[in-house]
Amino acid sequence: TQLLEQSPQFLSIQEGENLTVYCNSSSVFSSLQWYRQEPGEGPVLLVTVVTGGEVKKLKRLTFQFGDARKDSSLHITAAQPGDTGLYLCALLQGAQKLVFGQGTRLTINP
Amino acid sequence: SAVISQKPSRDICQRGTSLTIQCQVDSQVTMMFWYRQQPGQSLTLIATANQGSEATYESGFVIDKFPISRPNLTFSTLTVSNMSPEDSSIYLCSVEWGLGRSYGYTFGSGTRLTVV
């Protein structure tokens, strides 16, 4: 059983559309991180959310941490081709073990 | 955050041989982490490397297959031994940084390994 369930696994949309990616767990977690990985590169940290109900904005990206701290979402407004990549949520299991969701492979078509 | 230099960036290897991947960090770090990313998949932690002690391996990964060295606080190597086509993956090293909301992990750019 996956500790973190991400959905959808694949998403292909047109430039200018909005989208939401979800990350869910059956367990409560203290914090959650979102990463984006582009081909040929390692994942790059986008945000860390810590407080239940927290909302963080990063330009056109909005990250939300659920009130019960068991889920999180990433919303992209007016998607652009540069947003294409693999989006990964991750949480800390134990002291320093980072566990990743399966990832959402996003393609934005011009 | 730290900057990691990882090499090689890619390699094509014959089955039965071994490949050593190197990671150099621009600052001293206590722990370095090694991940595997199989084709089209997410990242899975292989092991955690502490300077001056043996690496700690995750379930499904063993030292004989993935020996790790950590000679100092800025450098680590991962060897993929006796390779088979099933070892074809991207291998990444990582370090942690920051605290609280500024806490996260920095990754190397990865080594894309193809075993033929």
CA–CA separation, A27 vs A49, rounded Å? 16
- Is A33 inside a domain boundary? yes
**In total, how many domains does chain A have?**
1
Q: What is the domain-level CATH number for residue A88?
A: 2.60.40.10
Q: Quick check: A55 contacting B, CB < 8 Å?
A: no
Closest CA to A46 of B43, B102, B93: B102
The pLDDT assigned to B101 comes to: 64
Contacts of B114 in chain A (CB under 8 A): none
**A101 and B42 in contact by Cβ < 8 A?**
yes
Written as six digits, the tokens of A40 are 């040929």
Question: Does the pLDDT value for residue B42 go beyond 80?
Answer: yes
Q: Which domain holds residue A19?
A: 5-105
Looking at CA atoms only, how far is residue A24 from chain B in angstroms?
Answer: 16
Half-sphere exposure of A71 (CA within 13 A, CB side): 11
Structure token pair of residue A29: 């977690």
| Residue A110 domain-assigned (yes or no) | no
Interface membership of B13 toward A (CB under 8 Å) = no
The whole-chain average pLDDT of chain A stands at 92
Mean pLDDT of B19-36: 96
Cβ density class A69-79: b for 16+ within 10 Å, e for less: bbbbbbbbeeb
Contact A62/A55 with Cβ under 8 angstroms?
Answer: yes
Let me know if residue A32 belongs to a domain.
yes
Q: Which residue in A72, A55, A68 sits closest to A21, CA to CA?
A: A72
B14-39 average pLDDT score: 96
Is residue A81, in this structure, part of any structural domain at all? yes
CB contacts of B111 in chain A (<8 Å) are none
Domain range for B73 is 4-115
What pLDDT is stored for residue B38 in this prediction?
Answer: 95
CATH of the domain at B23: 2.60.40.10
Closest residue to A96, CB basis, from B48, B58, B92 = B48
Distance CA A17, CA A21 (A): 13
**Per the structure, how many domains does chain B have?**
1
- CB of A3 within 8 Å of a chain B CB? The answer is no
pLDDT, one tens digit per residue, over B62-76 is 999 999 999 999 999
Q: Which residues pair with A91 in a beta bridge?
A: A99
Chain B residues with beta carbon closer than 8 angstroms to that of A97: 45, 48, 58
